[in-house]
Amino acid sequence: MDFVTAADGTRLAYDDQGQGVPLLCLPGLTRNMDDFEPVLAHYRDRARVIRMDFRGRGASDFADHKTYTPPQEAQDVVALLDHLGIEKVCILGTSRGGLVALVMAAMARDRLSGVIFNDIGPDVMPEGLSAIMDYIGKPPSFPSLEAAALALPGAYDGIFRNVPAPTWADFARRIWREEDGALHLRYDPKLRDAVAPAFAPDYEAPDLWPLFDALAGLPLGLIRGAQSNILSAETAAEMRRRRPDMAFVELADRGHVPFLDEPGAQAVIDDVLEKLE
């Protein structure tokens, strides 16, 4: 793991391994680079897999929570690319990471070679946003990683099915850390304050479809969990209508978000990488 310092002094953690086409993995809202361990294991022989922790998450510094925004995170991505001397990169964006890729389409499209969206699109389902507010910033209720791994299949029953026990154990380890007999968040709890304004009665969500359209000409991929409460089937269909050349898979037995070890998800990543190689 290495670090790059953003313009405001915030240290951002990243990992850079493998050889080939640069593939920048950007995690979800409360998640971190460890979510992309399956991607690194599978693609390091054909891609330069760069994994990044957004500010306030994982091993990156906590910062003023008002800077926990997609535009600032996009600026941080550009700082990392400049630091690494990379002109263009394909972004594999999970949830929030995909939204940052959309912002990049407006701020720094010339730095993009392609985008793969993992269960995210220009429209976000309200029920998914409400579910996020049910847990974000709150301490985990499980006493240990082992207990969490055992309880997670029941907690996600009907949303995720046919998930091996080791995958649930990895999932728990990636999102929480165990210390002094308790589990702790791996992100700044003030992230809750950063997203709370989006739930104000007078909040108007920005129209992100022009940003999606700005990706015209770039190879695109879309992975959707069939039980997703963030990316609706209707939004996925509209994305495909606008970009019929976009690689796509809908994964049965998966919700928000797929683990990216699924063969269907890997097929989408393969398709985009082949267009870049």
Report the predicted TM-score, pTM, of the whole model to 2 decimal places.
Answer: 0.97
**pLDDT class of 145 with cuts at 50, 70, 90:** very high
The CA dihedral of 155, 158, 162, 163, to the nearest 10 degrees, is -30
Q: Would you state the pLDDT for residue 199?
A: 78
Q: For residue range 103-128, what is the model confidence (pLDDT) as tens digits? A: 999 999 999 999 999 999 999 998 89
Instruction: Judge whether residue 202 has pLDDT over 90.
Output: no
CA atoms within 13 A on the CB side of 56: 21
Burial track 116-128 (b if 16+ CB lie within 10 A, e otherwise):
bbbbbbbbbbeeb
Which tokens in the block code for residue 129?
Answer: 């946003």
Domains recognised in the chain with CATH numbers: 2-133+201-276 (3.40.50.1820), 138-186 (no CATH)
Q: For residue range 34-84, what is the model confidence (pLDDT) as tens digits? A: 999 999 999 999 999 999 999 999 999 999 999 999 999 999 999 999 999
Euclidean distance between CA atoms 209 and 239, whole angstroms: 9
Q: Would you state the pLDDT for residue 204?
A: 87
User: In whole numbers, what is the pLDDT of the chain averaged over residues?
Assistant: 96
3-state secondary structure of 9: coil
Instruction: Judge whether residue 265 has pLDDT over 90.
Output: yes
Instruction: Judge whether residue 201 has pLDDT over 80.
Output: no
3-state secondary structure of 265: helix
Average pLDDT over residues 230-240: 98
**pLDDT class of 264 with cuts at 50, 70, 90:** very high
Query: Helices (DSSP H) in 85-156: which residue ranges?
Result: 96-107, 126-135, 145-155
Q: Would you state the pLDDT for residue 205?
A: 86
Average pLDDT over residues 188-207: 89
More confident residue, 200 or 24: 24
Q: Is the preceding peptide bond at 257 cis, omega within 30 degrees of 0?
A: yes
**How many of the other CB atoms lie within 10 Å of CB of 114?**
22
Closest CA to 145 of 164, 171, 127, 165: 171
């409360």: which residue's tokens? 30
Instruction: Judge whether residue 3 has pLDDT over 80.
Output: yes
3-state secondary structure of 103: helix
**pLDDT class of 130 with cuts at 50, 70, 90:** confident
H helix count then E strand count, the chain: 10, 10
Q: 169 vs 36, 123, 146, 164, 202, CA distance in Å?
A: 15, 31, 7, 9, 40
Average pLDDT over residues 91-100: 98
